[in-house]
Amino acid sequence: MGFKHRETDPAPLLKALSRPNFMIKIIPHVDCTPRICELVRYYMEDVAVKGCWAGPAAIQLFDHAL
């Protein structure tokens, strides 16, 4: 992405950040099998947006040895 290509309004970004986020917490047993699996919902709080930019971007995904 081009660095600071076009400055935009941070209001839509703050709205998106205020929605709940989800995460899976996996706590293993002594034999490394999953013992406890929790679906956790959390909210981002006290977020200060210092700047918001938009521009052209691309993503490339490659196979990895692992």
Query: Could you report the per-residue pLDDT of 3-39, keeping only the tens digit for each?
Result: 667 888 999 989 998 999 999 999 898 998 888 999 9
Q: What is the mean pLDDT of residues 52-64?
A: 83
Q: E-strand spans in the chain?
A: 6-7, 21-28, 34-42, 53-54
Q: What angle do CA 50, 53, 1 make, to 5 degrees?
A: 125
* pTM exceeds 0.85, yes or no: no
Q: Write down the number of H helices and E strands in the chain.
A: 1, 4
44 is a domain residue:
yes
Q: How many domains does the chain have?
A: 1
Residue-number span of the structural domain to which 11 is assigned: 6-54
66 is a domain residue:
no
60 is a domain residue:
no
